[in-house]
Amino acid sequence: MSITENYLRSDSAAQGVEVIVLVNCLVQDAIHLDASDLRHNLAGMPGWEVIDGEYEQCIEYFLSGNVDRNRNYFFYVDPYGVKNLDFGHFANLKKVGFKSIEMLINFNTTGFLREGCRLLNLQREIPDWAADPDGETDGKNTADRMDEVAGGSYWQAILADFQAKTIDFHQAEDAFSAAYNARLGELFKYVVNVPIKERSHHMPKYRLVFATDYDEGLFLMADEMHAAWQKLLAQERGGQLYLFDVTELDAQRGLNIQDRVTAELHAPLQLRDLLVRLIQKYGITHTTREYTTTIRKGDGALFKIVRQPATTPTGRPVISMDYDKYQITISSIPQKQLLLM
């Protein structure tokens, strides 16, 4: 079952969401899904409706005002190529006034920059891993149209640095992805993305970008992305796409998770806010359960946990890390202070 399906089946997400699958062409791999398959796999769940169709037609329909605004909408956007990913559409969807809206966007960031190099007539050659002899070339495409896709002209400055050899293509892709996330972050409170890579070179070919206004949605999607990554690590899929780079994530996970948590605790934080910070900074490297388990095990030694209320109705001390049930505040215990205790 796909990341999207697992996310939509979760208790927190299952609030009667209209699942909008906006596609021109679907590629079957670990994260893509076909609308008919999604409809079949979600059959029997009350309140669900899956709508599929051509991207431009669907997006215009939902911008027309002829839809029920008092519903929750989850948009899975997977177009063929990048020219249809008009950032203005996303901004306008946010203005419609739906009860809630979340978006999962499959963005070919490498293809975008490759096309950008062509349109700007850059002379520096792109690396072999970024080349795509079968890729789409639209003779009617323009730099202005690419500005509309990116939500600004910032990508041109990034490619200018690439042309000047200030950065390489990999760094250009990282910079573009970060800038795009920041633009999307002006529309949504929380944005997380995961690069989809080929094992042969560990460079991103696509980015799966999730945007939401709800911290619980961020937690759920990050955990689902992490679970998919773990599953793919256990499989041999030569030549196919991978979520994240095995070497990169193994190295990241080798860092001390306790140090990561401590670094965010310049002042006491609510557990919810701490988890948001950790996910937005480190992506899907760890699950929310791994973070909360680390905090709980470090209680009294590395961290101070204050729960309100502090006791159960029967008078027992609360030890739960359920931030929905209790107000949980986390602070760091300075190690010098521990030596004096």
Q: In this predicted structure, what is the pLDDT of residue 118?
A: 93
Average pLDDT, integer, range 133-143: 70
Q: What separation, in Å, do the N-terminal and C-terminal C-alpha atoms of the chain show?
A: 51
Q: Where is pLDDT greater, at 119 or 99?
A: 119
pLDDT of residue 128: 79
Per-residue pLDDT at 226: 83
Backbone φ, ψ for residue 115 (5° rounding) = -65, -35
pLDDT at 33: 46
Determine the pLDDT at residue 31.
34
pLDDT of residue 139: 72
Q: Tokens 């950790």, residue?
A: 278
pLDDT attached to residue 256: 82
Higher pLDDT, 131 or 204: 131
Is pLDDT above 90 for 151? yes
Among 253, 191, 254, 185, residue whose Cα is nearest residue 222: 191
Q: Hey, how many other C-beta atoms are within 10 angstroms of the C-beta on 162?
A: 25
Report the percent of the chain where pLDDT is more than 70: 69
Q: What is the pLDDT of residue 227?
A: 81
Residue 337 has pLDDT above 70, yes or no: no
Tell me what the mean pLDDT of segment 4-28 comes to: 48
Tell how far CA 234 is from the center of its chain: 22
pLDDT at 93 over 80: yes
- Predicted confidence band of residue 63 (pLDDT cuts 50, 70, 90): confident
Residue 48 has pLDDT above 80, yes or no: no
**Surface-to-core class of residue 5, CB atoms within 10 Å of its CB (0-12 exposed, 13-18 middle, 19+ buried):** middle
For residue 69, what pLDDT is reported? 85
- 305 pLDDT band, cuts 50/70/90, is very high
Average pLDDT, integer, range 225-236? 68
Judged against a pLDDT cut of 70, whether residue 341 lies above it is answered with no
Q: What's residue 239's pLDDT?
A: 45
Read off the tokens for 335. Answer: 């190690």
pLDDT at 14: 47
Q: What is the mean pLDDT of residues 147-176?
A: 96
pLDDT at 30: 31
Mean pLDDT for 92-108 is 89
pLDDT interval class at 13 (50, 70, 90): very low
Helices (H), the chain: 3-9, 35-41, 55-63, 87-96, 109-119, 143-150, 154-163, 169-184, 215-233, 246-253, 257-263, 271-282, 288-297, 335-340
Q: Which of 18-32, 36-50, 121-135, 313-327 has the lowest mean pLDDT?
A: 18-32
pLDDT at 312: 93
Report whether pLDDT(138) > 80.
Answer: no
Task: Using the structure block, give the residue that is written with the tokens 């049930």.
Answer: 325
Rounded average pLDDT over 138-152: 90
- The residue type of 178 is A
Question: Has residue 255 got a pLDDT over 80?
Answer: no
